[in-house]
Structure 1
Amino acid sequence: MRIFVKVIQVIIVSTFLGIPLAILSLWYHNPPGCKQSCFREPCPPNACMGGESLTAGFPFPIIHDDNAGSPVDGWGRIGEEDFISLNLGAFLLNAFFYGLIILILFAITKSIFESVKRSVR
C-alpha cells in the first residue's frame, strides 16, 4: 500500500511541476504559421484551409479555435474567446507529461552527481 501512495504522490508532484510548461506549450500552434482562415484555393501565405481547425498545446491540443464562437476577424486565430473551450483533460495530460520529463531529468542529474561523488572518494 505504501508503494501505491508514493506513486500517487509522484504523479501529483510531477503534474504540479509540469503546469507552467503546459501553459507555455500554448505557444505551439498546429498547423504552424496559421494567421487567418482561407476558404478557397489558392490560399495566401500563413493561411490555413477553412476545414482545418487551429489548435494550441503540445503534445495534446488543449485549445481549439472555435470558429462558431469567434468573431469573424478571429477565425483562424486563437483568442480569448477560444479559452472557453479549454480541454482540461488534455491540459492535465500535458502537465503530467512535462512533469515526468522534469522528474526524469532530476533523477539523471542526481545519479550523475552521486557517481561523481563516489569516483572522487
Structure 2
Amino acid sequence: MNKEEIAALPPKIEIAIKAGRAAADACADDGGSANCDRVVIPMPGVRESWVKGLRGYLQQANGWHCRGFHLDTPFAGIGNRRYAGVQAMHKSLKDQGVACYVWYQMD
C-alpha cells in the first residue's frame, strides 16, 4: 500500500465504522464469546508515520501475518454484536475496494 492509497482511507474507514455501528445496534443478542474480532488492512512495508491519525494501530509483522493496520471498533458489544459490527465493517471496506480481512482472536 502506498501513501496515496493510505491518504484515501479515512473516508472509507468512517463509512465502514458507520456500517459496523448500525449492524451492532441492530443485533439484539450480545451473547456468545467475547472475541477480539477486528478488521485488518494489510500494510507490509508501511511506516508508522504514514498511518498517523487513522483510527486504529499498526501491528508488527509476525510469523503468521504481515504487518497490518487494525481498525478501531467504536461500538458497543463484545459477543454477537461485535461480530456483526466487524463483519459489516469488513463488507463495507471490501465493497469500497480496500483489501482487508477479519482478525479473530479467541479468549
Q: TM-score, normalised by structure 2?
A: 0.31
**Structure showing the higher strand proportion among its residues:** 2
Answer 1 or 2: which has greater helix percent.
Answer: 1
Higher RCO (Cα < 8 Å, 6 or more apart): 2
Larger CA Rg, structure 1 vs 2: 1
